[in-house]
Amino acid sequence: MKRVVFSITLIAAMVLGFSLSTARYARADDDDKEDKEKDRRNAKPDPIGAWFGIARPCPPPPGDTSPTHAALCTSVCGACPNLPGTLPPEVPMMPTLLADGTVLADDAGELAVYHTTAHGKWSVSENDGLPNRPGTQRFKASFLWLGQNFAGSNKLDNAVRPRFVTYFDPKDPDRMLGFIQPHFFSPVAPPFSTNGIVNVIPANPADTFSSDHIPLVDPLASLPPGCIIPPVGKCLGTYHFVIRRIKVE
């Protein structure tokens, strides 16, 4: 009988201990969730996230009543020259800024003259000569996509690398003003190859690591300041935009 009582007591103690342990873990989990929620509420606003907006060529056309956009275009590119016939009147776009500094971008231009999703990097923009906007923090990105040189070419025969700049206002954290300057590169130099083979720099014994894997027209070369129109430069023009944060509902 004593053995039975002892066994029952031991089992009860084990069950009670397990229950208390489970309760402690549950409280700890609740505390952790509460701490994370406090951190989220106390976190400073930042530009990380997915965004949507419509970009239009600079300078704004007659009838655009926004002095804010007109002033931005003037500060960025003055009279804002562009390569005629290359900039559509509007480009809906969806850039995404990730916490690790990666940027992804899609736009409606992919529907007419196909190009891939853009991939690149973004960072804080400081001491680089780009225009300021009082009360805002400037961020910049450079990304790359492969695209068609013209509709119906059925091959990816060019690369475009934009300069993408946004101005973030912590008092208005779900909207950003900005500009974008697409730079055009043709790794398949004219006359275009019928099979899409990229023209590359010949292999160099002094750089055996690169061998013959670097395009003759390198889209990863440093972008020149501003927007220099061909034939001297590679910039097609300047767009201005407002993008809005895509939020959970």
CB within 8 Å of 144: residues ≥ 6 apart: 118, 119, 120, 159, 160, 161, 219, 220
Closest to 109 (Cα-Cα) out of 198, 227, 236? 236
pLDDT score recorded for residue 175: 98
Tens place of pLDDT for every residue, the chain, 249 residues? Answer: 545 444 555 455 554 554 555 556 556 566 666 665 455 546 789 999 999 999 999 999 877 878 999 999 999 999 999 988 888 889 999 999 999 999 999 998 777 778 899 999 999 999 999 999 999 999 999 999 998 776 666 777 789 999 999 999 999 999 999 999 999 988 765 555 555 567 888 888 999 999 988 888 889 989 989 999 998 999 999 999 999 999 998
Q: Are 246 and 195 in contact (CB under 8 A)?
A: no
Angstrom distance (rounded) from CA 167 to CA 176:
6
- Biggest CA-to-CA distance, the chain: 101
pLDDT score recorded for residue 79: 94
pLDDT score recorded for residue 124: 95
Count Cβ atoms below 10 Å from residue 2 Cβ, excluding itself.
6
Q: Give the strand pairing for 118-124 and 102-107.
A: antiparallel
